[in-house]
Amino acid sequence: MISPGRVIHDNQQAVLLGTLLVTAALALIGTSPRHSLTTSAASWTCIWAYTRFRSGLSSTGESQGRLLSWAAGVLLALSSVCERAVERGHIYWAKALLPVLVCVIVKVDAFGTARFNSSTDTRSAEKPKNGDTRLLTVLTVSALVALSYVSELRATFALGCCNAVLVAVVLSLLQTAHRETVSTDTNDGVISVSGLLSQPTIRKNIQQVLVDVSFAAALAQWMSAFLLEGFSTRPFWFAFLPQQILMVVLGVSMVIVHVMLNRSMILVVDKCDQVTTASTFVVAALAAQLATEFSLGRLWFASLCLLSLYVFLHDRTNSTTRQSALDDRANMRSRRLLTLLLLVSLALLAAFNFRDRLIARVVPNGPAAPWSPTLRDQDLSAPLQYNDTHVHPIEYLAKNAEHDFSSLLQRQSRTLGEAVAEYKRRYNIPPPPHFDKWFQFAQDRNVQLIDEFDTIHNSLLPFWGLKPVTIRRRVQEAIGFDGNNLIALMIRSGKVTHVRSGQEWQQKATIGMMDKFIQYLPDMDLAFNIHDEPRVVVPHDELSRLVEVAKDRNMPAAFANPDPKDGFSSRPKDLNSGERVDEVKVTRFNVFAHQPTWIPSRLSCSPNSPARALEEETTPDNVAAYAMSELGFVYNDTAFSDVCNSPSFGTSHGFFDRPNAFNVVHDLVPIFSQSKMSSFQDILYPSPWYWYGKVTYDEHKDLAWDKKESKLWWVGSTTGGFSRDGGWRRQHRQKLVRTLNAPDQAKIMYDAHLNSASSRDDNTPDWQMRSVARSEYSELMDVHFSHVGQCDPGDCDAQKEFFKIVAPADQQDAWKYKYLLDMDGNAFSGRFYAFLKSHSLVFKMAVFREWHAEWLKPWIHYVPLSLRAEEALESVRYFGAEELGKNMAIEMAEQGREWSNKVLRNEDFEVWFFRLLLEYGRLVDDNRESIGFRA
């Protein structure tokens, strides 16, 4: 690609540049951000050890060249720290600045390299000519656009610039160090691919630079790694466990890549110059970015950058030769053409971005996929159109989910310092007091997702808008009125001193969940919801003001404290001794049992949302926010359960039709509930139902996959709402059972390639849609009611006549079926965790949200279903009939089983509850702005 000449004048330089390019790209793509400093430090150590003992040169003694080498090594370590500091944000774009920064350093002769530019030394960089400015501008701007990352923060930008400046300085220092280190051997040697790791013929001055730079870089980076990354305290044999072997192999591979990268970088600076080395880093960054985030626009600007780079290096290569006027004119035309192409490209980019902003519509982010038409032209009342007929939508969704989940696992914190840094990055506030105790508690129990607690933050965020004393008084008022149906639990001096109301098992389970950590909790009163249904919904305008006060005033004040106290304050005067609950005669709660609740339930939704439309009866759901393809496969489970997106829930879910119980308050009162609708402000916590083992899984009664029946199974009751005046027709369980057993037409997908007369030799599928009689696939469904209840006598009789009522089933009978359906009842379904622990594949339809939102992932651990259930038949058919679907079903069932045994243990409930109560304890502390944990 680069013209022959002084930049690349023989094969050995080509080998070096190729090695540098490939290894730099691999390092950008494959290096784990969590251990980048350790990886780099290990590579520099390997380079130092090999070169030092092979050459016999030492790292002691003083000379100008050696001091420059040591400085370069230290600055390399600092540049790595900058890159490590923004481990979750790409700073590829910083590489685009390297050529222009190096040229500036050469232009001003910052390190006195001009004295080496003699006729006998052709390796020093030429000072850029005035004509090169335009090319450098085109090169830098096009590279910046190609390498841009849309979510850069100001801190990320600053660190990226620091990284670029440090690397540019290092390259120039290396160039100067090579010249200052006097060689006693003028043999240039022969460099080959194998020679990158073993070169006895490299000149001694290069060996000396390698020894000095690697010594300083290794020392500085090991210190940085120790401070910023920490080291595992697990025993050595942990690395030989099956699940860890791959990670160890990848880590060792990256060390080898970094050895080749760092060694070839120093050699390229010597054999070519610092500008060529910087340019190679730019090309490597472009290759890495295109490999990970390809787009046509990015490819175009990368091409412009490469063309500019070619012309720039070509001009520099031939600068020492006399060129004709014709050559000068050709070079000038090249510069003008590249400049024109860049300006036109930037103008088109700006125009498209302006158009998108001008006509953009509010659509939640969906997967980057083969959608057509574009989102701005999408009918929001219909699922996103999916036009890739070669990939089944289920296969696409499962692969996307697998990629996202793998990334989630890899970026979890490994040390306390990392966990604290991640906490501050996410929430802009210090962790609560005793965070180190919680972290050790979690590590001792091998918690898998140490950073994923956004549900806690989101639940407690509005309460930061209230004063601590206000929160405490509202709790006392709520538990003091006996008719509020709340469990009152009082903690004093590190133990539960009083508990009132609720069933005995729920009291025991709630106390049991906090028994192992209660000594770290402050004195406080807690209110736990007895009902299945949630209790707190705050009007949108008031909720917005609370969040605004929290984010703009109270939380920043806590974050600004440089030295928070790691401990809770003593018991405030307004809390009693904890021996009894002070009686209250008034209550804020209203009782709406057996009444429609849609109107009060949607109060917290934005006035601009579909649920708050002035004519909501005729306003369609925002189906595009969560569903894709004509059948409506759920690609965004969070958007599906967002009731503000779906006004149809008011007439299709039992909770909104007539809940069995509904004591609601419209002020922000801290009520701990086991599940809630998205529009409610209850504080979620792990259900005592699960911790107490109310629904069990008997592994001895489970069957192997091939011995199970290929049916979707569910047997249950008509809970979910109270039916009166035919209301059961509007309730979710009845609607879902009726849909799956209806004698109507349904749509499925089929591979048209298998049925065509085409002579194609390839096996590429061609997925098309067709209508079929649902009765043709009736053997795939075994979904029935076994009990009719929560209804007036007339409605109960009507349901018994309409539905096929089967005999009640034992919980352990479920394991005979490959596919198990789990759906909402009065609130969350208590069978979900038992289903996940089986060898069957779980299908879940849930609008109620639980604490595990970040820990269980759809299309990885279970199959999400919409309330419309138009995709249900095709999902079951695909998993049972298609070869790829059969394999995916087994894999997903086992993934759900294995993962649930890692994250749905009682230990996991306790870790989550511990974190929640530490956060809540700070929330009700009068000194909450001055307490917290500081690493």
Domains of the chain and any CATH numbers: 11-230+253-351 (no CATH), 697-752+763-916 (3.40.50)
pLDDT of residue 132: 61
Q: Which structure tokens are listed for 617?
A: 């009866």
Tokens standing for residue 305: 């950058």
Q: In angstroms, rounded to a whole number, what is the distance separating the alpha carbons of residues 823 and 842?
A: 10
Helices H / strands E in the chain, number of each: 30, 16
CB 713 within 8 Å of CB 819: yes
Contact present, 876 and 841 (Cβ < 8 Å) = no
Least Cα distance to 916 among 836, 852, 830, 829 occurs for: 852
Tally Cβ neighbours within 10 Å of residue 580.
12
Question: How would residue 759 be classed by pLDDT, with cut points 50, 70 and 90?
Answer: very low
pLDDT digits (tens, 9 = 90+) for 543-566: 999 999 999 999 999 999 989 999
The pLDDT of 608-633, averaged and rounded, is: 92
Residue 246 burial by Cβ neighbours in a 10 Å radius (0-12, 13-18, 19+): exposed
pLDDT at 887 over 70: yes
> Which range has the top average pLDDT, 83-97, 229-243, 300-314, 343-357?
300-314
* pLDDT reported for residue 28: 82
Residue 90: Cβ within 10 Å count: 22
Contact status, residue 571 vs residue 612, Cβ threshold 8 Å: no
- Report pLDDT for 233: 45
Report the alpha-carbon distance of residue 483 to residue 472 in Å, rounded.
19
Which residues make Cβ contacts (< 8 Å) with residue 33, sequence separation at least 6? Answer: 84, 87, 88, 411
How far, in Å, CA of 801 to CA of 820, rounded? 25
Name 610's Cβ contacts closer than 8 Å, sequence gap at least 6.
616, 619, 620, 621, 622, 644, 645, 646, 647
Amino acid at 102: V
The reported pLDDT for the residue numbered 649 is 95
Is the confidence at residue 313, as pLDDT, over 50? Answer: yes
Of 330-344, 415-429, 641-655, 851-865, the range with the lowest mean pLDDT is 330-344
Cα–Cα distance between 270 and 268 in angstroms, integer? 5
Q: Are strands 709-717 and 817-823 parallel, antiparallel or unpaired?
A: parallel
Task: Report the C-alpha gap between 513 and 526 in whole angstroms.
Answer: 14
pLDDT tens-digit profile of 913-933? 999 999 999 999 999 999 999
Question: Residue 469's pLDDT band (boundaries 50, 70, 90)?
Answer: very high
pLDDT tens digits, residue range 705-718? Answer: 999 999 999 999 99
| DSSP 8-state assignment for residue 862 | B
Q: Label residue 247 by pLDDT band (50, 70, 90).
A: low
Q: Which residue has the higher pLDDT, 36 or 631?
A: 631
Q: Is the Cβ–Cβ distance between 692 and 503 less than 8 Å?
A: no
**Which helix (H) or strand (E) segment is 564 a member of?**
none
Complete DSSP assignment for 129-198: PTTHHHHHHHHHHHHHHHT--TT--HHHHHHHHHHHHHHHHHHHHHHHHHHHS--S--------TGGGT-
What mean pLDDT is reported for the chain?
83
pLDDT at 8 over 50: no
Q: pLDDT tens digits, residue range 561-587?
A: 989 999 999 999 999 999 999 999 999
CA distance between the termini of the chain: 50
pLDDT for the residue 373? 37
pLDDT value of position 181: 63
pLDDT digits (tens, 9 = 90+) for 338-373: 778 878 877 887 776 554 444 333 333 444 445 443
Residue 376 confidence (pLDDT) = 44
Give pLDDT tens digits for 480-539: 999 999 999 999 999 999 999 999 999 999 999 999 999 999 999 999 999 999 999 999
Question: Dihedrals φ, ψ of 862, to 5°?
Answer: -160, 170
Q: Which residue has the higher pLDDT, 637 or 235?
A: 637
Structure tokens at 11: 């094969």
Query: What's the one-letter identity of residue 918?
Result: L
Q: Which residue, chain included where needed, has tokens 């095709």? A: 874
Rounded Cα distance between 188 and 210, Å, is: 16
| Closest of 16, 89, 26, 23 to residue 288, by C-alpha | 26
pLDDT score for 934: 86
d(CA 793, CA 723): 9
Residue 9, pLDDT above cutoff 60: no
Q: What is the pLDDT of residues 286-306, one digit of tens each?
A: 888 788 777 777 788 888 888
Q: How many CB atoms lie within 10 A of CB 677?
A: 26
Q: What is the Rg, in whole angstroms, of the alpha carbon atoms belonging to the chain? A: 33
Q: Is the pLDDT of residue 879 over 60?
A: yes
b/e burial code for range 428-441 (CB count within 10 A of at least 16 → b): ebbbbbbbbbbbeb
Measured distance CA(699)–CA(497) in Å, rounded? 39
